[in-house]
Chains A and B, each alone.
Chain A
Amino acid sequence: MTIPIFKSTYSIGKSILTMDDPNCVTEGGADSIIAIAKENSLQRIALVEDTMIGFLDSHQKCKTHGIKLHFGLRLSCCNNVADEDKKASEHKIVIFAKNDEAVKRLTRIFSIANQKHQGFVDNTVLVENWSKDLLLCIPFYDSFIYNNNFRGKQCLPSFKFTQAIYFIESNGLPFDAILETKVRKWADTSGERVQQVQSIYYKLRSDFEAWQTYKCICNRTFGKEQSLSSPNLEHCGSDSFCWEAFVS
């Protein structure tokens, strides 16, 4: 079974899906995750954001529409938060909160990362703030497995304090299959689970251009001028990060 993992505009530059009430969705306007959930009779949704800022709004919207929200926070993790060059070992993790108490803990981890460590956590921060109400997941594309194998980083995470779930995606990128091989091998070796997921950043395949335009606009790196014919977005070669691809 593949699990859809939504992301909203609260994660700036990543998704063009809002958490708006379905009544607010207009023709030609932004699509809403709540509206997609209602249209497809989803009783629960998994939402992974890069910040806690939208949590309360998402929680309230889901509650209003009778949708159970599984909220996950995507964080930058490094070998040691005291390192000057944290980016050298940067990789992403996702932490889901299983209940209200866990949300408080997640907020605390988010605050520690942003107030003390320039947006990073490390193994020590995680161990000190962990509880069994949290669920650790390892995203497919920007995990330590991807970064070590495809970017030559030396990420050395230790997730022995919990059982992690490793996400696998199939979006038609040239390296999907060879990355999957590495993820499965790692999970097998460490006796942990893999889970097929589908990241969703827009509703239809035809929204790819809108999403790419949004990414170009939000891209804050200096360099070559960006356009749709030359977006300069690395490995941005799939229109499968959408609801349509999930249901097809």
Chain B
Amino acid sequence: MKENLLRFNFNQKYLVLDTETEGLNLLRSRPYQIAWLEAVGKKIVARHERYIWWPDLNMSDGAAKINKFDYEKYRDLAKPARQVWDEFCPLLDNHLSEGGTKIIGQNFLGFDAYMLNSWPRALGLNSSFNYIRNVLDTKAMAMAIAKGCKTVDEDDLIYWQYRWLNHREKNIKTTQAHLLKHYEIPHDPEKLHDALYDIEMTFQIFQKQIIDLEI
């Protein structure tokens, strides 16, 4: 038995992230909501949710419908985009400088990573992907598990994830909703696509996945 597996590492730090966005354009769409939770082992130690104010927010009809976007709630809760970035960015940096913190997200490599780029860009700031090797993408892991994979390529973990993320097969579903059903995780489908709810669900999915995978 491998004792260094995540499932046995109760001191492992996690940062679970999700963004809700005005659209699905990987360069121009900006996040209007971000939620992150910090966890050690299985224990969640902090939850954060921020609405991000963009005066010229350009919600696409599709995004508004899927996310059940409520403009009045957004207007009341949102803080200036720069202010939220100045709060979030050092937190991300701190986790990276401490080393070892795993960044967890559903389709993080295929989407949220781009949103963490479009956000500072829209503010005229530089962005960086120096966290990319710390990412564990539950969508990529889900595809690997669905294909019967039991182990990961530890030395090339980021490439291993990209390979599974880019793998397409008609009959395999890897959406969050499907994974919640698959793992029989109690959830309210109506609440999905709210960043704070999604990260809680993602973390629960992740806990199941690290049992399925030797990671």
Contacts and interface: CB of A to CB of B under 8 A. Distances in A.
Interface of A: 149-152, 172, 174-178, 182, 208-209, 212, 227-233, 235-239
Interface in B113-164: 113-114, 117-118, 127, 129, 132-133, 156, 158-159, 162-164
Nearest to B130: A177
B25 interface: yes
Contacts of B23: 229-230
24 contacts: A149-B159, A149-B162, A150-B159, A150-B166, A151-B162, A151-B166, A152-B163, A172-B117, A174-B109, A174-B113, A177-B129, A178-B133, A178-B159, A208-B28, A229-B25, A229-B60, A230-B23, A230-B63, A231-B24, A231-B25, A232-B24, A237-B117, A237-B118, A239-B27
B129 A174 contact: yes
Contact of A229 (B22, B109, B114, B163): B22
Nearest to A225: B62
Contacts of B133: 178
A152 B117 CA distance: 26
B62 A152 contact: no
A178 B28 contact: no
Interface string B154-179: 00101100111011000000000000
Nearest to B161: A150
B29 interface: yes
Contacts of A178: 132-133, 158-159
Nearest to A209: B28
Contacts of A233: 26
Given A174-B114, A178-B159, A237-B117, A228 B28 contact: yes
Interface residues on B, range: 20 to 34
Contacts of A230: 23-25, 60, 62-63
Contacts of A175: 109, 129, 132, 162
B206 to A, nearest CB: 20
Contacts of B166: 150-152
Contacts of B63: 229-230
Interface string B1-36: 000000000000000000000111111110000000
A212 B27 CA distance: 11
A182 B162 CA distance: 14
A208 B29 CA distance: 13
Contacts of B164: 152
Contacts of A232: 24
Contacts of A172: 117, 127
Nearest to B23: A229
Interface in B17-58: 22-29, 58
Contact of A228 (B25, B158, B162): B25
B62 A236 contact: no
Given A177-B129, A229-B22, A150 B62 contact: no
A229 B29 contact: yes
Contacts of B114: 174, 237
Closest 5 pairs between A and B when the two form their complex, measured CB to CB? A237-B26, A229-B23, A229-B60, A152-B163, A230-B24
Nearest to B61: A229
Interface string B72-110: 000000000000000000000000000000000000010
B26 to A, nearest CB: 3
Contacts of B159: 149-150, 178, 182
Contacts of B22: 229
Residue among A229, A230, A239 with the highest chain B CB neighbour number at 10 A: A229
B201 to A, nearest CB: 23
Contacts of A149: 156, 159, 162-163
A151 B140 CA distance: 12
A236 to B, nearest CB: 6
A236 B26 contact: yes
